[in-house]
Chains A and B, each alone.
Chain A
Amino acid sequence: MPLLLPQLPTGPTYGILAEFATPADLYHACERVRDAGFTRWDAHTPFPVHGLEGAMGLRRSPLPWIVLGTGLTGAALGFVLQWWVHATAYPLVISGKPYFAWPAMIPITFELGVLFAALGAVLGMLGLNRLPMHHHPLFKSKVFERVTDDAFFISIESWDPQFDQSATGKLLESLGARRVELLECE
């Protein structure tokens, strides 16, 4: 299973970058790279490509579970906070309602649930993507600048057990890569 690690590969070589001309070329190349058993690699596109995660063999993200956890935590926190304030710490009669007037607590419980879920989603996404990351060896490649414009890339990192400088390069060329480039770590 592909898994990007926060650290960079050890050794002088970061990996191999291959450029593809169209999303279809990239898609089919990803299927072959996946089937070849590579695990430490990634695909880079200027826009989302439908079904690419399947072609890459990516697992489902654990993010929904993080969001569920933080959302429920927020809702519970909101409810307990209000219960503690209104029913125990500072009991006051407000508009003739009981101290523990649960309907009045629903809006804040809901809002805190949403707030925590949203924070969980954003921070969880950043964490799972190892962001923010200030620099990456891929940025040294001149052709990689077109990843935000009109080019499609596959990068295979050098510490992948299947990685072999010449064989992997040849594989990517045989998959229709327009250009294959070796990248150094520093």
Chain B
Amino acid sequence: MIPERDRVALRPEQVTIPPGHPWNRIPVLGAVCALLGIAACAILGAANPKQFFFSWLVSFLFFLSLALGALFFVLIQYAAQGGWGIVLRRIGETIFAMLPVMAALFLPLVLGLRDLYSWAVPGAAEQDALLRWKAPYLNVPFFLMRAALYFGIWSFIALLYYRGSRGQDVTGDPGVSARLRRLAGPAIIVLALTQTFASVDWIMSLTPHWYSTMFGVYFFAGSFVGFIALLSVVAVAMRRAGLLDTVISAEHLHDIGKLLFAFTVFWAYIAFSQFFLIWYANLPEETIWYRARMEGSWMTVSLFLMAGHFVAPFFYLMGRTVKRKGATLAVGGAWLLAMHFVDLYWQVMPTLHPEGVRPSALDVAALVAVGGCFVAAASWLMRRQALVPLRDPRLAESLAFENV
């Protein structure tokens, strides 16, 4: 039980989007963007289906990774009984509640497996000894079964945690927190395994001869940086819009900034380790993936990633003041969010355009379409719920949180 003095009384207008607030219009704006994006994809994609599927894959992976990062963020806080981040948890919950939506956005890719994955082309295995050997894993029915399994597991965990937290808003039962905490450890293990296999299936198998045992961690690192970057932007935007401005303090922004800084370094560590081992061993079946990214304009993107996804944000986010001020933190977050997109683009697109970077209108169309759906659904959910877990036993601790 919470001692009487620690009980917090948050007024409804502090923790919900009030009627008439501009944020009430975001779901409609998102839906309009989604429709325009889908229409553009249909028109442009009819002429160039291969480009459409690759562009869609990049945007799909981008928003999927944000939702998976959100799920990890919430699970790790339950597992570690973290107190500081309770006021941010509902934002994370809203974003990982988009995982079932991502399952629907995966469906267009099912139509384009032959365009995306060379191993999925009928007869590919007959002409290629390696693909023949990998065929028990890399075949279309098993691929689709696995995708269904990933989305089933992710949606199950997401809904379990989302409904548990929303239910606690009503009942105030502290037993919900205890139950979700006990489940968080196993859920993290399941998430790590499914996320690893999903990254192998959807990104690594674009180059079916190639493999990297670190790839799952690399995808995870990017997804968590992406989510924290998004969290920083959303938290600052909410404060600016007068939502949660009395709830999310500079102390919370500071901790978001620390996580953003730490996982930018973690991403660089993993990205470099993957490159370094392959570069040093110099085995042709491993170097092929980097070779494609070290030629022509892809090399420029590689260097840009190194500078933009690590060096610049490393020094930018190092200082204390930058992390505690909303404007400067949100700039860093928005930049890293963009870099996360570049990272995924750089992982996927050289398969389609080995000759060099070929930006396409379909890249923008797919981003607007997938992003529109994602933002519309998430902001629609935001309107229907409290913006913080109102009766979590640790809410008072989170509200009073101060960095040492």
Contacts and interface: CB of A to CB of B under 8 A. Distances in A.
Nearest to A104: B280
Interface of A: 48, 50-51, 60, 64, 68, 95-97, 103-104, 106-107
Contacts of B280: 95, 97, 103-104
Contacts of A95: 280, 282
B275 interface: yes
A50 B404 contact: yes
Contacts of B279: 103
Contact of B275 (A48, A51, A64, A103): A103
A48 B403 CA distance: 12
Contacts of B319: 64
Contacts of A51: 402
Interface string B259-291: 000000000000010011001101000000000
B318 interface: yes
A106 B402 contact: no
A96 B318 contact: no
B318 A68 contact: yes
B88 to A, nearest CB: 20
B320 A64 contact: yes
Contacts, number: 22
Contacts of A68: 318
B interface secondary structure, majority: helix
Contacts of A48: 404
Nearest to A106: B272
Contacts of B404: 48, 50
Interface in B135-160: none
Contacts of A106: 272, 276
Contacts of A104: 276, 280
Nearest to B404: A48
A95 B276 CA distance: 14
B402 A50 contact: yes
B276 A103 contact: yes
Contacts of B282: 95-96
A160 to B, nearest CB: 27
Contacts of A97: 280
The 10 closest A-B pairs by CB, nearest first: A103-B279, A103-B276, A50-B402, A51-B402, A106-B272, A48-B404, A104-B280, A96-B282, A106-B276, A95-B282
A97 B276 CA distance: 13
Contacts of B272: 103, 106
A72 B280 CA distance: 26
Contacts of A107: 276
A114 to B, nearest CB: 11
Nearest to B402: A50
B288 to A, nearest CB: 17
A95 B280 CA distance: 8
Nearest to B318: A68
B264 to A, nearest CB: 15
Contacts of B320: 60, 64
A165 B207 CA distance: 80
A64 B320 CA distance: 10
12 contacts: A64-B319, A64-B320, A68-B318, A95-B280, A95-B282, A96-B282, A97-B280, A103-B272, A103-B275, A103-B279, A104-B276, A106-B276
A32 to B, nearest CB: 21
A60 B404 CA distance: 12
Nearest to A96: B282
Contacts of B276: 103-104, 106-107
A50 B275 CA distance: 44
Nearest to B281: A95
Given A51-B402, A68-B318, A104-B276, 10 more contacts: A48-B404, A50-B404, A60-B320, A64-B319, A95-B282, A96-B282, A97-B280, A103-B275, A103-B276, A103-B280
B7 to A, nearest CB: 20
A109 B402 CA distance: 35
